[in-house]
Structure 1
Amino acid sequence: MLNNPIMNAKDAISASLAECFITIEGNRYNFMQAINLEASIEKTKSEIPILGKTGKGNKTTGWKGSGSATFHYNTSIFRQLLYRYKETGEDVYFDIQITNEDPTSSVGRQTVILKDCNLDGGILAKFDADAEYLDEDADFTFEDFEIPEVFGNMSGML
């Protein structure tokens, strides 16, 4: 067996130890009703022909941010934004801040702020007589992001 350092199980980040805040027009909401959220970026690339090579290179030319989340169905905040857009044509952008921090882990905490988020759509009304509880999915895009806090390196990484 190799003699490399290995990750300690305690350094796996607990999936539910997170915070989610949404800031809409200066109002900061603790979105404790969030069940899950995932945001990612997709790099856009151009194929670059290169003299002397049989293949093409790839050059990153930009990126696009998108995400999805599931929330307990117990707030009308997003429905109000959709209604406002329908009534006025004004589309509202907002920020989402996600912090992961597991006190057992040695890596500390990470905070990511998704800037200028915009809903792709949303659930207007819902019921399910056979369900234990109601939830709703929301897809969104974002135009920028910051990472003001990053996880530290685990022992043995460097």
Structure 2
Amino acid sequence: MSFMNPNDAPSSRLATLYCIVGGQRYGMLNAKNFEAKANVSLADVPILGKTIKGKKPNGLEIKLKMTLYKCSEMFDEVIEEYKNTGVLPTFTVEVAASDPATTIGTSEKNYYECIIDGDVLLSSFDADGDFIEQDIECYAMDYASSAKNKYKTPDYMTNVEQKK
């Protein structure tokens, strides 16, 4: 029986994040955390003669969320452009996770035509507070994984005999 190599648990701290807004590429060194999730929507499929309904996928949405230290007004400018023109600019997010202690390599993904959903912190202060942070949530209209930089599945996960 094989076991997982403990070094293959990738560190969540070893990553890079960039946003391309209005043609300007920003290194998001002020990012505290980031998460991208795919949500598959399912529709019920009633089947004659069965009591259990089938399920069929009928949609997909990609939701991004990041917490940032407020040391830039790049997202304020997106909101201001929307306020002034009625057009909400989209942006691209590039993220890579790479822990050199693992055997799995690097995972890179790009999220395209991201559109802000919800609040953008324009101003804030708190005499008793610590740091000014903001949560940015958005939807991506598409995404792509890097062809050469995807996590490699370790051998101990794929060389498993099936029980008979």
Measure, in 2, the Cα distance between the counterparts of 1:6 and 1:51.
Answer: 45
SS in 1 for 2:155: coil
Measure, in 1, the Cα distance between the counterparts of 2:57 and 2:129.
Answer: 45
Shift of 1:32: 0.9
Alignment-derived partner of residue 143 in structure 1: 141
Measure, in 2, the Cα distance between the counterparts of 1:129 and 1:137.
Answer: 20
- What per-residue deviation string (whole Å, max 9, x for no partner) do you get for residues 59-115 of structure 1? 001111112110011000000110110111111001101100001111000001111
User: TM-score scaled by structure 2?
Assistant: 0.90
Alignment partner of 2:3 out of 2, 6, 17: 6
Alignment-derived partner of residue 161 in structure 2: none
Measure, in 1, the Cα distance between the counterparts of 2:102 and 2:139.
Answer: 31
SS in 2 for 1:79: helix
Residue ranges of structure 2 left out of the alignment (5+ in a row): 159-164
Alignment-derived partner of residue 18 in structure 1: 15
Percent identical: 28
Alignment partner of 1:85 out of 82, 95, 100: 82
Shift >3 Å, 4+ stretches: none
Measure, in 2, the Cα distance between the counterparts of 1:69 and 1:156.
Answer: 33
Shift of 1:52: 2.1
Aligned length: 155
Measure, in 2, the Cα distance between the counterparts of 1:30 and 1:65.
Answer: 22
Q: Aligned-residue CA RMSD in angstroms?
A: 1.1
Measure, in 1, the Cα distance between the counterparts of 2:66 and 2:46.
Answer: 39
Q: Does 1:68 align with 2:48?
A: no
Q: Does 1:28 align with 2:21?
A: no
User: TM-score scaled by structure 1?
Assistant: 0.93
Alignment-derived partner of residue 110 in structure 1: 107
Measure, in 2, the Cα distance between the counterparts of 1:21 and 1:66.
Answer: 16
- The one-letter amino acid paired with 2:157 is M
Measure, in 2, the Cα distance between the counterparts of 1:134 and 1:122.
Answer: 13
SS in 1 for 2:43: strand
Q: Does 1:98 align with 2:67?
A: no
